[in-house]
Structure 1
């Protein structure tokens, strides 16, 4: 496996993806906005604390540790917005089909 080099576009995208995953995981665990906001500030502080890393080995270790932490904290029943696939309202009021529902000539 190739080691990530610091300050590359691929690395920035990976860190941004991990940050978004952390925010989603925090939202899954705390659906109330005030508690969620407090968690987002903690997450941001953790990411900002590691912003200075320029050693590729240290960077790889931090990314691996972050992935492990996200896997550990993954919610068993994540929040799905109601109208998204898998949500409670997804395709609730779909229009009726144009063809005959029961085949045959009655």
Structure 2
């Protein structure tokens, strides 16, 4: 394997690990009821990632990443917290657009002066 392809594969693996860690950390927040519980769970999650940070074998790293992704998918929260105004949130596109032909005037309080 050439040096360039080795570096490219390592960069892709680092990106996959970063994404997996962020997803797992965000999902940990969904499971924790209180912040002090979240901090403990986040610390344990970080320890699991740190335990494998010195692995050098590319195939072993791919296997660890695949196992981590499978574990994350298995234990994902069934009803994750979604910020209300984000897509999927309770306030996302709460007010539908008005039908065609209805004009909305945004001159608050000056409606009497329309000519």
Q: Quick check: TM above 0.5?
A: yes
1:60, 1:86 → 2: CA distance? 32
2:32, 2:99 → 1: CA distance? 40
Deviation at 1:36, TM superposition (A): 1.1
Secondary structure of the 1:60 match is helix
Larger Rg: 2
Partner of residue 55, structure 1 = 57
CA contact (8 A) 2:13 2:62 kept: no
Deviation at 1:87, TM superposition (A): 0.9
Partner of residue 26, structure 2 = 24
1:78, 1:94 → 2: CA distance? 25
2:80, 2:33 → 1: CA distance? 10
Q: Which structure exhibits the higher relative contact order, with contacts defined as CA atoms closer than 8 Å and separated by 6 or more residues?
A: 1
Deviation at 1:95, TM superposition (A): 7.1
Which aligned segments of 4 or more residues in structure 1 are displaced greater than 2 angstroms? 5-8, 91-101
Q: 1:41 aligns with which of 14, 37, 43?
A: 43
Number of paired residues?
Answer: 98
2:98, 2:34 → 1: CA distance? 37
Q: For structure 1, which runs of at least 5 residues remain unmatched after alignment? A: 102-106
Deviation at 1:17, TM superposition (A): 0.3
Which shifted more, 7-16 or 46-55?
7-16
Q: TM-score, normalised by structure 1?
A: 0.77
Partner of residue 86, structure 1 = 88
Q: TM-score, normalised by structure 2?
A: 0.72
